[in-house]
Amino acid sequence: MMTGEQYVESMRKMNMQIYMFGKKIENPVDDPILRPSLNSVKATYDLAQDPEYEDLMTVKSSLTGEKINRFLHIHQSREDLVNKVKMQRMLGQQTAACFQRCVGMDAFNAVFSTTFEVDQKYGTKYHENFVNYAKYCQEHDYTVDGAMTDPKGDRGLAPHQQEDPDMYLRIVERRTDGIVVRGAKAHQTGAVNSQEMIVMPTISMGPEDKDYAVAFAVPTDAEGIIMIIGRQSCDTRKLEGTELDVGNSEFGGVEALVVFDDVFVPNDRIFLAGETEFAGMLVERFAGYHRQSYGGCKVGVGDVLIGASALAADYNGCSRASHIKDKLIEMIHLNETLYCCGIACSAEGGPTASGNYMIDLLLANVCKQNVTRFPYEIARLAEDIAGGIVVTAPSEADYRDATTGPYVEKYLKGAKGVSVENRLRILRLIENLCLGTAAVGYRTESLHGAGSPQAQRIMISRQGNLSVKKELAKKIARIKD
């Protein structure tokens, strides 16, 4: 397994085509805006080397028998599913940011089981392809991105009905040695920090959408792949050379629009190529795994935000107020409820036909439905406790300035014994988590990541077993049809 530094150097060797602010980024590894997101992924390598976290971060591969990072593991038990959530919570606590590897882990497990069932029906070799690919990634200890979300164009039209056929990624050429694909994947978390990328369809499809029912893997620096970095609130603060104003100066997350401009995919890296009836299965399974993930990562970041809010109350001198105590209790209650959902859907999981374990889909969707709401309330309460100064505090430059600094020092004092600098630091962290760059990985991403709220409600409706519940009521009421 790689160390964190070895991972960084491996990314330095990549030749990715990355654009930001209208310019090509020649050295993304050391770019001040992108580097914090790389540090978050680096932490997943560093902690895997730490004996304290070894049980959560590493596991014995079911494919090679070797010790691997859990992010590359094919789940073999309910314990694996539970440990995944525990690992994600711990990493959220350590980074207070998105550590970007969950999508690839969830894609690994969804593609593993789906390709097995495709092969059973059609006699294809997709599962063999994927197993060999998974071994390759495990042996090299790669970070793998999972790409599912298409731009979609007109949401009221199927892929083949779009005015521009590239609004959903598709096969544009079938060759004896592979396929050529064109399109884009939006909101790709961690793509710029991954060596590999697994691409999947984004919706269920009918026979007319055969060219769009495609899943495959490519290196992130494959010819024809272009990444355009998405803006985040307060992102250019990282260019100002101020640690304090960033809030979380070491860690972060980043998303990109990933364009596939006629990218070639060899046959041994194809996992689906036209079997439309399995597109929905792959989407459903990936979404389930990824909705489980939110019961871990968002909870870990929530732990940091709750701690920051409690410190802000201490520094403001109001921690003994009953309403402050009650708000902190509510934040803890909401956060732990999310964790309960993540653990529950894991503990209720079971084996697929391929042998790997999948979460309980209903409970996973309930988990994510709660995640679309509770982090917003937790953030609201954090902003309430911190006070309006969380968005009106002067800059670090003003605090350090010989003229304005003494005024900032005098008038921004809080509780006795608390330095103004420490008060400003905790306020900037809260701002970062609720409103700044980390808000992409906590608040807004809690709403839309792994599918919008309506996507979970559709799955809850499908998985809710209303007919069974009706029969239970009939039995108790002694109703006979």
Q: Domain 282-468 classified CATH 3.40.50.720? A: no
pTM beyond 0.75: the answer is yes
- Count other Cβ atoms within 10 Å, centred on residue 177: 9
Active site residue 323: no
What is the rounded average pLDDT of the residues 173-201?
98
pLDDT beyond 90 at 445: no
Structure confidence at residue 437 (pLDDT):
82
Note the pLDDT of residue 67.
Answer: 98
137, 297, 345, 434: which one is catalytic? Answer: 297
Position 305 scores a pLDDT of 98
Concerning whether 345 is annotated as a catalytic residue, the answer is no
Q: Is 196 a catalytic site residue?
A: no
Q: What is the pLDDT of residues 53-91, one digit of tens each?
A: 999 999 999 999 999 999 999 999 999 999 999 999 999
pLDDT at 441 exceeding the cut of 80: no
Q: HEC profile for 421-452?
A: HHHHHHHHHHHHHHCCHHHHHHHHHHHHCCCC
Query: pLDDT tens, 83-124?
Result: 999 999 999 999 999 999 999 999 999 999 999 999 999 999
Q: Is 297 a catalytic residue?
A: yes
Residue of 429, 439, 436 whose CA lies nearest to 385: 429
pLDDT of residue 443 exceeding 90: no
By the 8 A CB rule, do 253 and 440 touch? yes
Amino acid 140: pLDDT: 98
Catalytic residue among 102, 137, 341, 367: 102
Catalytic residue among 44, 290, 367, 431: 290
- 139 a catalytic residue: no
Q: What are the domain boundaries of the chain?
A: 282-468
Tokens of 47: 């902690």
Check 255, 284, 396, 431 and give the catalytic one: 255
Among candidate residues 75, 98, 137, 345, the one labeled active-site is 98
Task: Please give the sequence-ordered ranges of beta strands (E in DSSP) within 200-342, or none if there are none.
Answer: 214-219, 225-229, 255-266, 270-273
318 is catalytic: no
With a CB cutoff of 8 Å and minimum separation 6, the contacts of 39 are 95, 250, 251, 252
Q: Using CB atoms within 10 A of its CB, is residue 190 exposed (0-12), middle (13-18) or buried (19+)? A: buried
Q: Which listed residue (294, 339, 399, 442) is catalytic?
A: 294
Instruction: Assess whether 337 carries a catalytic annotation.
Output: no
Question: With 90 as the cut, is the pLDDT of residue 267 above it?
Answer: yes
Active-site hit among 189, 202, 372, 437: 189
Active site residue 255: yes
Give the rounded distance of the alpha carbon of 298 from its chain centre. 9
Query: CA 348 to CA 361: how far, in whole Å?
Result: 9
pLDDT value at 343 more than 90: yes
